[in-house]
Homo-oligomer: A and B are copies of this chain.
Amino acid sequence: MPSVDEELVSLSEYYFSILYTVIMANINPDLQKERQNGTFEVEKLTNVLDGDKFVTDRRRYVESLALNEKELTDGPDYNFMSRKERYVNSLRKAVHFLKCCNKYNFENPADVYMFERTAFPNEVSPIGLHSAMFIPTLRGQGTKEQIEKWVPLAENHQIIGTYVQTELGHGTFIRGLETTATYDPKTEEFILNSPTLTSTKWWPGGLGKTCNYAVVMALLYTDGKNYGMHPFIVQLRSLDTHEALPGLAIGDIGPKFGYDTIDNGFLRFNHYRIPRMNMLMKSAQVLEDGTYIKSTKNDKSSYGAMVFIRSVMIFGVAARGLAQACTIAIRYSAVRRQSELKKSQPEPQILDYQTQQYKLFPLLASAYAMWFTGLQIRDLYFTVNYDIQQGDTERLPELHALSSGLKSITTSMASWGIERCRLACGGHGYSAASGLPKIYVNVSPACTYEGENTVMLLQCARYLMKAYDAAKNGQKLSGSVDYLSERISLRSSITSEFSLASLVDAYKHRAARMTKEASERLGRLQACGNDPEDAWNLNSVVLTKVAEAHCHYYMVLVFESIVESVEDDGVKEVLKQLCQLFALFGIHENLGDFIQDGFLSNEQMVLVKQKELSLLSDIRRNAVLLVDAFDISDHLLGSILGRFDGNVYENLFEWAKTSPLNKPEVQESYVKYLWPLLNQNKSKL
């Protein structure tokens, strides 16, 4: 729980209510009607999404602080800037953001997170990794002396650092990295080198132009022996001139699909020397004479950190990204009128078309499912982290596997879902004014970073195979895999009630059956002569599906538990509908998985399809309120189509008029290229 400054919060509530009244006066009538017709109180659902009322208030207060900083919000339109301008503007904001952090002196990291999110809506800060990765790595991997030396420099921004791991030829697979750090006992230095082209460090954020320091991961050689990856503190640029230091080649890796605001960079070492003490020595040391000493303490904290980052990705990247896209597409679908449902009647809101509902509402349900799952994993992290502090690491493998799999399926779902939302907005979705392209290119890389999604699924699957073997050997499993040691129902309990328990049960059955089959298939592949690695590879497509099924089950399970925990009847009812839709859409999309062994009968299948469609009508009534409840400000959305007030067309037109291509009206290119073309045959006119 963040500490709450009550006076300020009530002030923020006051401003919020004024703002709300002002906005409502000018609201698009279609949206106004939608907001009057709901069956539940939006604010109560917002509180559920935030955790509780106090978090909602605090979030709004912190967001309002950021929104009041003109340096952060007033700049030129992102869409009208060149790539370089986007980087420079972002750097400008990043520096101001640090000033704000000093000014407001936030105690709670959640406040900093929310403030930064508002300062960089669907963008990345070029110095974001300084506090997200550089300082934590110093703290986590450094000795006490190293922490005392480096962390204050970093916290005072006398040095700005990043975290440098991936290489041109090497990504998720860390053991493949090639950069070397060879110890030279004569000078007591490490010599960093990039022995091959593919060993060029590639992708680290902020590396290209911004940072002057980095933690660099490199293969440690001492006494002629390779000791594997270790972290080193490396100065990259002169603190006076910001020029790259001799022996280093540094630069930006060039334009990307998105991430324009950040200078992902490359770095090559040409026998570059750093002092011995620049190796971060918490878990291993190299002595003056080159002796290598590994710490005896088995440090699991980096696993915990990974779990935490992934929970933030599920919640802060995947769920919020899709929630934003749904907000835009659903509000716009309530405003947009098109075509005809009935002859000689006015064009209906496109939200009234069943096909539009079918595009958007399952995505809305997914956004809720991911949101709750992200929060749940975050809470689980705190629990397990507490256990780790107490020396109990038993649940860590399970949590690691689960968070890997969930990171994968939620970022994939969100990524595809955002594009579906964009396409559901028709032509205008393709305009930068929709805000959707920016959201998409910001979320989509999450499918790759922090572990490529297929690799993540296979990590999850490896854990499931082990757990299944353990269960088969009579071990009683707990946590998210408990069902593998339970007796699983062979026939679905789904009735026309569609109780959430019956839906959880269906997903449990599917995951259990698929795990069992995959394990048996793995056994058969080995039995017929494949060695374990080949068998694993020949089974890997099946295994990714198993991991997906497990994570899908977990999401339904979490969603159910949230619905059960909600006290307000109105909110409970709409969440129940969303949970049902999330589960039923998943069953329909993967129907074969549920009917192939007769688990779901023909009659139940028919019921599922019917209920899926009837839920669309149920949710239709509350659709706009269900996205309002995400409480994402217009500034964060960055979308004309998704404006809270629904005044889409006038703002699209005003925005277009300010487009740089419209100044001047007659362009130089006309004189240079068109005029000669138009006049070459003028005599014939």
**Residue from B92, B198, B588, B673 in contact with A92 in the complex, judged by beta carbons closer than 8 Å:** B673
**Contacting pair A176 B257 (CB below 8 A):** no
**A660 touching B84 in the complex, CB below 8 Å, given contacts A419-B419, A423-B448, A677-B157:** yes
The residues in A between 277 and 333 inclusive whose CB is less than 8 angstroms from any CB of B are none
Check A595 for interface membership: any CB of B closer than 8 A.
yes
Please measure, in the bound complex, the distance between the C-alpha atom of A245 and the C-alpha atom of B53, giving whole angstroms.
58
**Residue from B98, B432, B667 in contact with A677 in the complex, judged by beta carbons closer than 8 Å:** B98
**Contacting pair B342 A431 (CB below 8 A):** no
Do most interface residues of chain A lie in helix, strand or loop, or is the interface mixed? helix
**Contacting pair A432 B355 (CB below 8 A):** no
Check A544 for interface membership: any CB of B closer than 8 A.
yes
Please tell me the number of chain A residues within 8 Å of chain B, measured between CB atoms.
Answer: 141
Write out, one digit per residue, whether chain A residues 655-671 have a CB within 8 A of any chain B CB (1) or not (0).
Answer: 11111111001111110
Residues of B within 8 A of A176 (CB): 338-340, 347
Q: A92: nearest residue on chain B (CB-CB)? A: B673
Check A396 for interface membership: any CB of B closer than 8 A.
no
Residues of B within 8 A of A448 (CB): 423, 426-427, 429-430
Q: A175: nearest residue on chain B (CB-CB)? A: B340
Residues of B within 8 A of A79 (CB): 254-255
The residues in A between 46 and 77 inclusive whose CB is less than 8 angstroms from any CB of B are none
The residues in A between 199 and 216 inclusive whose CB is less than 8 angstroms from any CB of B are 200, 202-203, 208-210, 212
**Contacting pair A613 B168 (CB below 8 A):** no
Residues of B within 8 A of A422 (CB): 257
**Contacting pair B339 A172 (CB below 8 A):** yes
**Residue from B158, B419, B537, B672 in contact with A678 in the complex, judged by beta carbons closer than 8 Å:** B158
Check A197 for interface membership: any CB of B closer than 8 A.
yes
Q: A336: nearest residue on chain B (CB-CB)? A: B169
Check A156 for interface membership: any CB of B closer than 8 A.
yes
**Contacting pair B416 A444 (CB below 8 A):** no
**Contacting pair B95 A677 (CB below 8 A):** yes
Check A166 for interface membership: any CB of B closer than 8 A.
yes
Q: Which of A25-33, A380-388, A449-457, A621-629 contacts B (4 or more CB under 8 A)?
A: A449-457
Residues of B within 8 A of A166 (CB): 427
Check A685 for interface membership: any CB of B closer than 8 A.
yes
Residues of B within 8 A of A596 (CB): 591, 595, 602, 605
Q: A544: nearest residue on chain B (CB-CB)? A: B355
The residues in A between 439 and 466 inclusive whose CB is less than 8 angstroms from any CB of B are 444-445, 447-449, 452-455, 458
